[in-house]
Structure 1
Amino acid sequence: MKEYLKTGLILMLYMIIAAFLVAFVYNTVSPFIDEAEFNAKLKAIKYILKDESNNSLVENIPQNSEELQKYIWKDGEETLYKNSANSKILSPVYKFQSEEKDIYILTVTGIGFGGDVTSVVSFIKTDNDLKLNRIEVINYSQETPGLGAKISEEQIKERFFYIPQSGLENEIKVNKDAGKDSDEKNRNEYKKQGIVQTSDVMTGATITPRGVANSLNIAIEYLQKEGVM
């Protein structure tokens, strides 16, 4: 009986020490992880605050968290909005103003092949017109290398750039889901219908770009709900 008690006490001591070490490591590393994630997000925001000529859409681009906080438009719980497809709007949403433009920046997620694919996206509102400007994919770690993970490549991200309001109103789809074959000549015309051509650059990987398309659709849905569109 004494041996069982002794063994139990030793195991309990090991568990206490292990728990202490895990807590210590977490508390030590967590601030660095948070800082790295924020820096990645800030870098993405700077990237999507560019126009088609690669010029900045605003005069003053935030350089740190204090400056960025001034542009918060909507915030709250970590997930601001969620739909039945498990796409999400993450808090906060930012709003920039420049000349006659309002620029909305949202962090969105959609279900990819291995889990959530997270993007930071910008929409430009002028008068009664809204268009999708740019996206930057910031988390795709669970997507298949060489297939879905290609979603972060420039030539693929830009397929989702500059979609006009007519395309947003139709709901964004990848061309395979819209029943359209690859057509280089009509790629921009497709965008007017909300169709993003990805099958020629992501052969065999439809789920990941579909997840990105779904995440853009929840962004549109959210902006509609908030009276932007």
Structure 2
Amino acid sequence: MTAPRRVLVTGAGSGIGLAVAQVFMEQGAEVIGWDLVADPTAGFPMTAVDVRDADALKRAAEGLGRLDVLVTCAGIARRASAIDMRAEDWQAVLQTNLSGAFYSCQAAFPALAASGAGLIVNIASFIAHRSGPGRASYAAAKAGVVAMTEVLALDFAAASVRAISVSPGYTRTRMVGAAIEAGRLDEHHLLASIPLGRLAEPREMAQAIVALTGPAFHYANGTDFVIDGGIMAQGVQ
């Protein structure tokens, strides 16, 4: 009997991360979650850990044993003009979205290598490829995730550990919902910019991400999958 896949998801407490964990569980995987706050009602083991703390992540990874898949979903956004963006906001986004993803991959690497065919899925964003005003920190971090993933694919290949990234489009997460409510995002303008005319739902994005971990994509390595409802395809308007 084949053992269930062991999956670690960072940022598993909400949004795409939570949805990814739930979809993996429905498929019979053994899921472990890392988040800043451990939710005891999540339905899977959660460890409270700050992805900006490399040493804390290494301690959290010590008992992982074998790990088949790591999905790095932990992320934040701080929107502000590059003219007057505060240094602490710039650093918070880069440290969480980029350094946090790197530290998570590094900490989980021994367990991924132990599986003999480990896979890293780093969650980037279409903003890595098509940015806009006020997004300097987020765009830089997510573009860094895409570039970093290419390097991980090279550095980890000898240990039979692959790395890919996924660049979601606008998804109806708590973070996006809060930005709409606060007026930082105009929902009417947002929907008009998406050829499909709607936001993605966390579950459908999670289903796509989980599908990319399946046998049909076992030769994928060092590449980015954009799932954005057509935003990047429409070009200049």
Q: Which has the higher contact order (CA 8 A, sep 6+)?
A: 2
Instruction: State the TM-score, normalized to the length of structure 2.
Output: 0.31
More strand by share: 1
Instruction: State the TM-score, normalized to the length of structure 1.
Output: 0.32
